[in-house]
């Protein structure tokens, strides 16, 4: 397995923030950064760089939802080898918030988009690239994309300045055969671009899919410590650092983070392989219905939930 | 994926019994059998067929540890399509306990053995085969077996009457490349035998490894509902029934079993992806040290545990 070009992008704070509304203390984030840096993890995605002006309920979220460069400098006064990343969404970012890279601690800005917005993603990437950042486009929900849409998107992307293009399994519904199929297609149509993968764990396949993608030459591997991320969560960082061959990652600092930060947090917050998330995964759909179920009294009523999602004449509004 | 020859062997009671000392009520086992039968699962391994005379502490275990044919007839008065299986261990089974198949509800007797005992496993298989049962040999701890040992075992097995030979990932340390390597070797040296796989989930790879084995033609796929099994547990039955292509399995009855039986049980008993089991998995060793840790006050002290297992001069006896 030639995975020595692999780079791990830890998304614990950014994707995990979708679990706890970014309610991480500064000390938590500092300890996580120190642990990831000791482990040799390449990037830490420390939050979103969206604008609070463009989002409802912004005042209730923790600071990692709307990263501020000045605040970030206080959080990470001494940067190590681990680079910092932020994610933005189409229509939620104000380009005036983005300083030149030389004035920011951020190294990488990633743009998440659905296939129909790839043109808008490229416009944003142009701005961020111009200001000196590494850039990625993360194409979400690929399991729901038709072939011709994907080919049109590749045409736009291949001539753009973006550094890395991501395969995102938003619903956690893909298996190894899907990953082989997608990596082959991305490599064929985007031979001049590096690739990334962001997997969700609804079917317990996030780690396996990420390993198989790495073997196919996918370079940027998204993960989070103890798998913390929305709904079923992500590929666990601890598994990548211990299992990728011919790399210099260290497991022990990640175990330390799990013991000190993640085990206590998991007692308060919920993510991982939980049956309603498995159900939305196997049905290849967004986990929002399962997240609503888990927040209700019926959280363990898996059979009713399955029946609702699989009976065409019943919608959730009619129940 | 041509997996329509796949047969699922649900091991919830047998392997799950290693978690709760086989403390399942008769009603639990009856409801599980009904659910598996509705789901179209091919085999239910309902326990061990070892002899209580040959094991210490036998009086403390539930009845599924030492299956009695008369008792079994009361538990399952009406058998459906799901066949019944029992496991035996070398040196712990009294052949006088094994009725002819025509007088037993059991269809399949499986012999678990380490590589050095394959000759003894074949002696037992000869007896069970003679009495009319389907038979398997389950070779444990394959990740710790040397090439020449395996080739010698193949020589004995290929001329035996055994129906199915199992690849057993006892430590949950194998990945997809290991599975491809092993299935290729087993198919090459045992062309006249059907194959099986029993995976453990220490690295979250049990389901993926089982899918990949099925794709390579491995027919008997071990699983357990909600993954219940010793330590990190097994490949989840619910994932196999929903994801294997071109099969007639049904997910809904398994969800019903999870909701009614497994979610309440998981609140009392522990199995699954738990960090000390991940550590023994990545170190490719038996989970007994992690099981001892989980039963102690230090159960979440992952870093100390990792240090002990990876520091050559420190043994557990000296601590």
- Cβ of A255 within 8 Å of Cβ of B212? The answer is no
User: At residue A1, does pLDDT exceed 70?
Assistant: no
- Cβ of A252 within 8 Å of Cβ of B303? The answer is yes
Residues B124, B33: Cα–Cα separation, whole Å: 27
pLDDT at site A318: 43
Residues B24, B241: Cα–Cα separation, whole Å: 23
Q: Please give, rounded to a whole number of angstroms, the shortest distance from the CA of A163 to a CA of chain B.
A: 30
pLDDT at site A255: 98
**Which residues from A are below 8 Å from B174, CB to CB?**
none
Residues A64, A183: Cα–Cα separation, whole Å: 31
Residues A83, A154: Cα–Cα separation, whole Å: 28
Which contiguous run of DSSP H or E holds residue B36? helix B26-39
Radius of gyration of chain B (CA): 19
- Cβ of A205 within 8 Å of Cβ of B203? The answer is no
- Cβ of B208 within 8 Å of Cβ of A306? The answer is no
pLDDT at site B1: 43
Alpha helices in A89-146 (DSSP H): 118-130
State the Cα torsion B167-B171-B172-B175 to the nearest 10°.
-70
Q: Name every residue in A having a CB less than 8 A away from some CB of B.
A: 1, 175-177, 201, 203-209, 211-212, 226, 236, 238-239, 242-243, 251-252, 255-256, 258-259, 263, 272-273, 275, 278-279, 282, 300-303, 306-307
Residues B307, B309: Cα–Cα separation, whole Å: 6
Q: Is A225 exposed, middle or buried (0-12, 13-18, 19+ CB in 10 A)?
A: buried
| A203, A252, A258 member nearest B239 (Cβ) | A203
| A204, A278, A279 member nearest B204 (Cβ) | A204
| B175, B203, B207 member nearest A205 (Cβ) | B207
- Cβ of A303 within 8 Å of Cβ of B255? The answer is yes
Sign of CA dihedral B255, B259, B260, B266: positive
| A204, A211, A300 member nearest B239 (Cβ) | A204
User: At residue A57, does pLDDT exceed 70?
Assistant: yes
Q: Is B204 exposed, middle or buried (0-12, 13-18, 19+ CB in 10 A)?
A: buried
pLDDT at site B319: 40
Q: Please give, rounded to a whole number of angstroms, the shortest distance from the CA of B255 to a CA of chain A.
A: 6
Place A257 in a pLDDT band, splitting at 50, 70 and 90: very high
pLDDT at site B315: 54
Pairing status of strand A83-89 against strand B108-113 = unpaired
- Cβ of A251 within 8 Å of Cβ of B282? The answer is yes
Q: Please give, rounded to a whole number of angstroms, the shortest distance from the CA of A148 to a CA of chain B.
A: 25
Place A313 in a pLDDT band, splitting at 50, 70 and 90: low
- Cβ of B282 within 8 Å of Cβ of A306? The answer is no
ipTM of the complex in this document: 0.94
Picking from A287, A289, A278, the residue whose alpha carbon sits closest to that of residue A203 is A278
Helix (H, G, I), strand (E, B) or coil at B309: helix
Place A4 in a pLDDT band, splitting at 50, 70 and 90: low
Q: Please give, rounded to a whole number of angstroms, the shortest distance from the CA of B41 to a CA of chain A.
A: 18
Backbone angles phi, psi at B44, to 5 degrees: -120, 120
**Which residues from A are below 8 Å from B211, CB to CB?**
175-176
Picking from B305, B268, B304, the residue whose alpha carbon sits closest to that of residue B290 is B305
Sign of CA dihedral A3, A48, A22, A170: negative
**Which residues from B are below 8 Å from A176, CB to CB?**
176, 208, 211-212
Q: Please give, rounded to a whole number of angstroms, the shortest distance from the CA of A160 to a CA of chain B.
A: 35
**Which residues from B are below 8 Å from A175, CB to CB?**
208, 211, 243
Domains in chain B, ordered, with CATH? 7-268 (3.20.20.70), 275-318 (no CATH)
- Cβ of A204 within 8 Å of Cβ of B201? The answer is yes
Question: What is the average per-residue pLDDT within A243-271?
Answer: 96
Nearest chain B alpha carbon to A206? B204
Residues B204, A215: Cα–Cα separation, whole Å: 18
Contact by Cβ (8 Å): A108, A43: yes
User: At residue A248, does pLDDT exceed 50?
Assistant: yes
Residues B186, A281: Cα–Cα separation, whole Å: 33
- Cβ of B212 within 8 Å of Cβ of A239? The answer is no
Residues B266, B274: Cα–Cα separation, whole Å: 13
Residue B220 backbone class (left: φ over 0; alpha: ψ -120 to 50; beta: rest): beta
pLDDT at site B60: 84
Pairing status of strand A134-139 against strand A164-169 = parallel
Nearest chain B alpha carbon to A203? B239
User: At residue A315, does pLDDT exceed 80?
Assistant: no
DSSP code per residue over B115-183? GGGHHHHHHHHHHHHHTT-EEEEEE--GGG--HHHHHHHHHHHHTS--SEEEEEETTS---HHHHHHHH
Residues 6 or more apart from B119 whose CB is under 8 A from it?
B156
Q: Please give, rounded to a whole number of angstroms, the shortest distance from the CA of A125 to a CA of chain B.
A: 35
**Which residues from A are below 8 Å from B255, CB to CB?**
275, 279, 302-303, 306
Residues B277, B286: Cα–Cα separation, whole Å: 9
Which contiguous run of DSSP H or E holds residue A94? none
pLDDT at site A319: 40
Which regions in chain B score pLDDT beneath 70? Answer: 1-4, 313-319
Nearest chain B alpha carbon to A276? B255
Radius of gyration of chain A (CA): 19
- Residues across chain B: 319
The predicted-structure confidence for A117-154, as pLDDT tens digits, reads as follows 999 999 999 999 999 999 999 999 999 999 999 999 99
Question: What is the average per-residue pLDDT within A188-196?
Answer: 98
Picking from A186, A194, A11, A163, the residue whose alpha carbon sits closest to that of residue A87 is A11
- Cβ of A176 within 8 Å of Cβ of B175? The answer is no
Picking from A90, A218, A207, the residue whose alpha carbon sits closest to that of residue A166 is A218
């Amino acid at each position: 397995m030639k995975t020595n070009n692999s780079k791990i992008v830890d998304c614990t704070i950014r994707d995990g923030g979708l679990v706890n509304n970014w309610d991480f203390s500064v000390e938590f984030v500092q300890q996580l950064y120190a642990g990831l840096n000791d482990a040799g993890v390449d990037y830490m995605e420390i939050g979103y760089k969206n604008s609070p002006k463009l989002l409802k309920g912004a005042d209730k979220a923790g600071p990692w939802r709307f990263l501020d460069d000045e605040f970030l400098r206080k959080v990470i006064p001494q940067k190590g080898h681990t680079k910092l990343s932020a994610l933005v969404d189409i229509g939620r970012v104000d380009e005036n918030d983005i300083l030149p890279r030389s004035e920011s601690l951020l190294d990488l800005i990633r743009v998440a988009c659905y296939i129909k917005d790839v043109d808008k993603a490229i416009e944003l990437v142009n701005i961020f690239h111009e200001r000196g950042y590494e850039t990625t486009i993360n194409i979400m929900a690929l399991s729901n994309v038709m072939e011709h849409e994907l080919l049109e998107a590749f045409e736009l992307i291949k001539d753009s300045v973006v550094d890395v293009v991501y395969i995102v399994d938003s619903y956690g519904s893909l298996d190894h055969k899907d990953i082989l199929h997608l990596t082959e297609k991305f490599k064929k149509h985007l031979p001049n671009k590096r690739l990334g993968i962001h997997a969700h764990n609804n079917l317990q396949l996030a780690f396996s899919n990420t390993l198989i993608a790495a073997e196919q030459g996918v370079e940027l591997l998204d993960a989070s410590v103890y798998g913390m991320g929305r709904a079923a969560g992500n590929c666990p960082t601890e598994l990548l650092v211990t299992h990728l061959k011919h790399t210099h990652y260290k497991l022990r600092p990640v175990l330390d983070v799990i013991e000190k930060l993640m085990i206590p947090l998991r007692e308060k917050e919920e993510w991982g392989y939980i049956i309603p998330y498995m159900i939305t995964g196997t049905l290849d759909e967004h986990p929002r219905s399962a997240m609503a179920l888990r927040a209700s009294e019926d959280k363990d009523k898996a059979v009713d939930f399955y029946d609702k999602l699989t009976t065409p004449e019943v919608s959730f509004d009619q129940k």
